[in-house]
Amino acid sequence: MQRLNELYSGKAKTIYETDDDSQLIMYFRDDTSAFDGEKIDQLARKGMVNNHFNAFIMQHLETQGVPTHFNQLLSDTESAVKRLKMIPLECVIRNISTGSLCKRLGVEDGLDLKPPTFELFLKNDELHDPMVNEYHAETFGWASKAEVQRMTELTFKVNGILKKLFDDANLLLVDYKLEFGSQDGEIYLGDEFTPDGCRLWDKETREKLDKDRFRKGLGGVVEAYEEVALRLGVPLPK
């Protein structure tokens, strides 16, 4: 497959068109950002670690019956994916209370949430990704009722699969964000699943092993991502 022109460059990845209309190349850069792009930095090896991490998770989800956009690893920092029409909504599941949920609702940090919660956010940095609901989605044409239903169902399915995967690696899947898109009328999980878009705590110590290390200036960001990869058995180049 040939890499052609750049389609879009976001905060952490660049998307390229290819000589195949139905596929794109996702290039994972070393850039990292938080607080809607207010805090930015470059972290050596992050693009490589996230590309391999994402490939491992997407392939695992696919074997468990979740339709994903992932096609194949092309290099240490690039993957081929299905070209999707992205739905501009972020689906968030929380298994443990932390972050913006605690600020918004005044609930204690670290509570086991039973059942887990599901939230939708509009993908819009200028508006700071406001929380929306399925009625907003339909009214403003971001997603139909059936699409929201399917995204909700798949996000919960992913929760069951990944809670178990991380639990077996002595990690708690605290919360995470998923993005979906469509190709030929089918909904696929798109974008990425990496420690950039989820929270992972060590099961015993509750040490943070995700992007909160960057948000909170704790250091050892990529080292933490690599620790998670090692525990899961993600093959990483030296």
Distance of alpha carbon 67 from alpha carbon 181, whole angstroms: 11
| Binds ligand ATP by CB under 6 A, chosen from 6, 8, 124, 223 | 8
Cβ-based nearer residue to ligand ATP, 35 or 108: 35
Q: How many residues bind ligand TYD (CB under 6 A)?
A: 13
Cβ-based nearer residue to ligand ATP, 110 or 130: 130
Distance of alpha carbon 61 from alpha carbon 227, whole angstroms: 21
Positions 22 through 61 that interact with ligand TYD (CB under 6 A): none
What tokens does 73 get? 């690893």
Cβ-based nearer residue to ligand ATP, 143 or 172: 143
| Minimum CB–partner distance for residue 237 and ligand TYD (Å) | 25
Should residue 117 be labelled a site residue for ligand TYD when binding is judged by CB under 6 A?
A: no
Q: Which residues contact 92 (CB under 8 A, 6 or more apart)?
A: 118, 119, 120, 121, 175, 176, 177, 178
Cα distances from 160 to residues 64, 93, 155, in angstroms, run: 10, 11, 9
| Minimum CB–partner distance for residue 93 and ligand TYD (Å) | 8
Report the chain's terminal Cα–Cα distance, integer Å. 26
Which segment (83-91, 147-155, 161-169, 216-224) binds ligand ATP by CB under 6 A? 83-91
Q: Which residues bind ligand ATP (CB under 6 A)?
A: 8, 10-13, 15, 24, 69, 81-84, 86, 123, 179, 181, 190-191
